[in-house]
Amino acid sequence: MSKEGPGIKISDEEFLNEAKTVIDKAQEKGIILRILGALAIHIHSEHTPRCIELHKSLGRLGEKGPTFTDLDLIAYKKQRKEVKNFFEKDLKFVPDRRINTLFGGKRYIFYHPKGAYYVDIFFSKLEFSHDVDFGEAPQKGRLELDYPTITLADLVLEKTQIHDINLKDIIDLIVLFLGHPVEKEEKKEAINGKYIAEVLANDWGFWYDATNNLNKVKNFAEKFYNEGKITEEEYKTVIERIDTLLKMIEEEPKTKAWQKRAKKGTKKIWYRPVEEVIR
């Protein structure tokens, strides 16, 4: 999501504990923060040791690279001031004043006081190749649906919205689907396929990239199976769950906006070109 760096300077276990502590301390102050990305998938995989193992062994950041690079969080836009004070005054993190001034309406970046990692905080919406919207204010959005991370459905949307999806995101999705079934509603440790289908049914460009990316995940799952990196049962589980989601996406009635945009197809750019933040 943000520009890749050398990775965290502490162990994965320490990083995980620190991330959860940050969310807990914020919650105590009434600040809604949730974990995004690979770390969120890791947390949701703790009930399945094999998924934790694969998240590392498949080499999402290279065979000898770190599992994580930074701490990606999301908060509500209405709580920007509270978030700023929390990180600067309570946690003593160092703000990136240039980035926070330029992009403060959408995101903040803070550095760990001992340089162990940095924190990238987004507000209300992820705006990359496509938008993933969480709502504007506490009790009026999606962040309270899970803890300490965003929901599994939102994690799928976060990863599949990437137009130029890369290997680490594909591995994240393989791990996510291996550890979680696809359901038609919000359930603990299940992917709400109905919600994903509804979001994509209103946005042809997002639908186009997301469905293409899901098929790429299937292709890589087959590759990893052929290379002996995942078992036949694991391969079949991932394929079956992605196919279930693709079927739900296909069967969801499309809006007039989707249908209108579909007529133009790829003749007109359907995604937002993303420039990395340079720190």
Using alpha carbons, select from 217, 218, 211, 223 the residue that is nearest to residue 250: 211
For residue 6, name the pLDDT band (cuts at 50, 70, 90): low
Tokens encoding 221: 């799952």
Flag the least confident range among 62-71, 93-102, 237-246. 62-71
Q: Work out the mean pLDDT of the chain and round it to a whole number.
A: 93
> 221 falls in which pLDDT band (50, 70, 90)?
very high
Instruction: Answer for the pair 237, 178: CB distance below 8 angstroms, yes or no.
Output: yes
| Structure tokens, 163 | 């137009």
DSSP string, 8-47: -SS-HHHHHHHHHHHHHHHHHTT--EEE-HHHHHHHHTTT
Mean predicted confidence (pLDDT) in 192-215: 98
Residue 64 has pLDDT above 90, yes or no: no
Band (pLDDT 50/70/90 cuts) for residue 60 is confident
Identify the pLDDT of residue 109: 96
Q: What is the pLDDT of residue 3?
A: 41
Q: How confident is the model at residue 2 (pLDDT cuts 50, 70, 90)?
A: very low
What pLDDT is recorded for position 277?
Answer: 52
Q: What pLDDT does residue 56 have? A: 85
Contact 55, 105 (CB under 8 A): no
Q: Which pLDDT tens digit goes with each residue over 114-170?
A: 999 999 999 999 999 999 999 999 999 999 999 999 999 999 999 999 999 999 999
Q: In terms of pLDDT, which residue wins out, 63 or 144?
A: 144
pLDDT digits 0-9 by tens, 230-254: 999 999 999 999 999 999 999 999 9
Q: Are the beta carbons of 52 and 42 closer than 8 angstroms? A: yes
Name the percent of the chain in helix, strand, coil, to the closest 5: 50, 10, 35
The mean pLDDT of 178-200, rounded to a whole number, is 96
Task: Determine the Cα–Cα distance for residues 171 and 177; give it in Å rounded to an integer.
Answer: 10
- What percentage of the chain reaches a pLDDT higher than 90? 85
Residue 12 has pLDDT above 90, yes or no: no
**For residue 4, pLDDT beyond 50:** no
